[in-house]
Amino acid sequence: MQGRKGYPIFQPYYDLIRLFKKEMVISNVTSYIFRVTPYIVLASTVIAILLVPIVTVKGIILYFGDIIAIVYVLALGRFFMALAGLDAGTAFGGEGSSREMTVATLVEPMMILCLFTAAVSSGSTNVSQIIISKSQIFTPSKLLALASFIIVTIAETGRIPVDNPDTHLELTMIHEGMILEYSGKYLALMEYAHYIKQMLLYTLIVDLFFPLGIAQTDRVSDILIALCIYLLKVFLVGFIMALIESSRAKIRFFQLPTLPGSGFVLAFVALITYLILGR
């Protein structure tokens, strides 16, 4: 999209393997929080994605897949990541943690409103029940909530225009500032958790707003068909995200509240629209 040759599609996995092989350099001033945070962040992200149906709604753990629980399990990982950024005692880590909490206070209410719009229309906060209800997709409330949730996904994954995951400039770092002191295996765990979180948000988009094609049985043939449909939907979501990222420039941090603010208004209007129109 930018007229440049990109790196190989498996390059992130090559980077993870390389990081797992590297030696870790840990500051003497850090405490146990710095050491346990990578495991907590990865565990919270894995737990969150286990609560979300991917190709079928049949599964014991999926009955506990409440959207409110998913939001706050992710918030647990963010909380410890911010603590780890402060624990190293560097200016960049503290700056990244402060900015991350600022973004979180803007994004989390917007995320909850988007999820509530989908939940109210189906009569349940369980992701599987939302899919099974087969509520109407292309309704005014769902379209507004979808637009708002796309903004949520951009902000939560630290993509342009909210953040630039490739930069190490101290005036622009948010996510990278918090993990700047990590190296080796710890950095690999943090990056891997970030990849999983991005896939989780993509899956929530296709589950809540485009639930067609998800298997409601545990037959192998249905699961294989649902897997192909899921990969196609996720590819389309990724294409839209890449289009947004390639066509926009990163906005200044002090102008950042305007983007989540507009997303919050969209999410609020989506919920009010459903309560008034019923669709």
Amino acid at 170: E
Long-range pairs for 194-200: beta carbons < 8 A, 24 or more residues apart? 194/157, 194/158, 195/12, 196/42, 196/45, 196/46, 196/49, 197/45, 197/48, 197/74, 197/156, 197/157, 198/153, 198/157, 199/49, 199/234, 200/45, 200/48, 200/49, 200/52, 200/74
pLDDT 10s digits, 68-93 = 888 889 999 989 988 988 888 888 88
- Of 136, 157, 139, 135, nearest to 147 (Cα)? 139
How many Å apart are CA 103 and CA 118, to the nearest integer? 23
CA atoms within 13 A on the CB side of 189: 20
pLDDT 10s digits, 218-268 = 788 888 898 999 999 999 999 998 888 888 777 777 777 788 888 888 888
Query: pTM (2 decimals)?
Result: 0.87
CB 41 within 8 A of CB 189: yes
3-state SS track over 88-128: CCCHHHHHHHHHHHHHHHHHHHHHHHHHHHHHHHHCCCEHH
User: pLDDT of the chain along its 279 residues, tens only?
Assistant: 778 888 888 998 999 999 999 988 888 888 889 999 999 999 999 999 888 888 888 766 666 678 888 888 999 998 998 898 888 888 888 888 888 888 888 888 888 888 888 888 777 788 888 877 765 567 888 888 888 888 888 888 877 777 776 666 666 677 777 888 888 899 999 999 999 999 999 998 988 888 888 887 778 888 889 899 999 999 999 999 888 888 877 777 777 778 888 888 888 888 888 888 776
Neighbouring CB atoms inside 10 A of 224's CB total 12
How many Å apart are CA 76 and CA 45, to the nearest integer? 9
- Of 226, 239, 46, nearest to 131 (Cα)? 226
How many Å apart are CA 17 and CA 99, to the nearest integer? 29
Which sequence spans correspond to the domains of the chain?
27-277
CA atoms within 13 A on the CB side of 198: 16
Angle between helices 184-208 and 32-50 (to 10 degrees): 30
Amino acid at 261: G
How many Å apart are CA 271 and CA 266, to the nearest integer? 9
